[in-house]
Amino acid sequence: MTAIATRDLEITAGPPETGRAVGRPAAEVQNASLRYGDNTVLRDVTLRVGEREIVALIGRSGSGKSTLLRLLAGLAQTETGTVRTAGFPAVSFQEPRLFPWRTVLQNVVHGLVREKVGRAEAAERARRTLEEVGLADKVGTWPGRLSGGQAQRVSLARALVARPRLLLLDEPFGALDALTRRTMHELLIKLWRDNGFGALLVTHDVDEALRLADRVVVLAGGRIVEDIAVPEPRAGLDDAVPEIARLRTQLLAALGVADTAN
């Protein structure tokens, strides 16, 4: 049986799983399994992302993180189970994937392809979103002239211009230097607070997960082996919250990695 992703979650009211006000579900994967030939990549995975929640998905290389994200994006299909999202999700990848022959503004306008809006309104909305990501002065610039961080901001603007209820982020900051990554963390949180969407963030970086997420989910061998609520999520994006060090150790152990910070 092949289960096809549906986009109808607005009719489902879901109870919060962590006791926090996470809102209605923006994404819901239930008992999903997926194989590529003999390679079983996802085994009976169940995961929900609330529409006011950031969930980080971590796991070793090849553990199935991108596959799970692709399921939610409608780019792959489960063999069993169901995948549902609230409307069409927006996706942002590690490489910004901008059209080099289009200006920054035109790239962001492209994020509105599914919306029935006129050209003037599309340009206006794209302009406003570029302002939100701090690139109002780059509307007419060609992508080839942007820094890595600026290009990633344009990619975020293109993802958010249609005001999605679910944002899927596949290692969006992985290629950036440490300082730019920090700035992007702050920007993502600002956008999330201002716009209100559910986010699933795939990352290799335990510290990034603990800085940004309400919950951290660990995927290993195609299964969810940890699903941890972060205490005081985004507490000033401060790494010094005492509980965080213990969680870092727990998450690294789930990944089979020694914690060198201690």
Ligand X SMILES: Nc1ncnc2c1ncn2[C@@H]1O[C@H](COP(=O)(O)OP(=O)(O)OP(=O)(O)O)[C@@H](O)[C@H]1O
Using DSSP bridges, classify how beta strands 215-220 and 54-58 pair: parallel, antiparallel or unpaired.
parallel
DSSP output for 120-170: HHHHHHHHHHHHHTT-GGGTT--GGGS-HHHHHHHHHHHHHTT--SEEEEE
- Figure out which of the listed residues 65, 84, 165, 211 binds ligand X, where binding follows CB under 6 A: 65
Q: List b or e across 7-25, with b for residues whose CB sees 16 or more CB atoms inside 10 angstroms.
A: eebeeeeeeeeeeeebbbb
* Geometric angle at alpha carbon 65, from 62 and 69, rounded to 5°: 140
* Cα–Cα nearest to 241, from 213, 210, 215, 216: 210
- Figure out which of the listed residues 5, 9, 41, 71 binds ligand X, where binding follows CB under 6 A: 41
Beta carbon nearer to ligand X, 67 or 129: 67
- Figure out which of the listed residues 11, 21, 61, 194 binds ligand X, where binding follows CB under 6 A: 61
Beta carbon nearer to ligand X, 2 or 61: 61
**Phi-psi map region of 70: left, alpha, beta (phi>0 left; psi -120 to 50 alpha):** alpha
Beta carbon nearer to ligand X, 74 or 87: 74
Beta carbon nearer to ligand X, 47 or 126: 47
Total chain residues near ligand X (CB under 6 A):
11
- Figure out which of the listed residues 4, 11, 36, 260 binds ligand X, where binding follows CB under 6 A: 36
- Figure out which of the listed residues 48, 52, 67, 215 binds ligand X, where binding follows CB under 6 A: 67
- Mapped onto helix, strand or coil, the DSSP state of residue 56 is strand
Nearest approach, Cβ of residue 126 and ligand X (Å): 30
- Figure out which of the listed residues 6, 12, 39, 147 binds ligand X, where binding follows CB under 6 A: 39
* Alpha carbons 141 and 257: distance in angstroms, whole number: 43
**66 interacts with ligand X by CB under 6 A:** yes
**59 interacts with ligand X by CB under 6 A:** yes
DSSP state of 202: E
Nearest approach, Cβ of residue 33 and ligand X (Å): 13
Residues lying near ligand X in the complex (CB under 6 A) are found at: 36, 39, 41, 59, 61-67
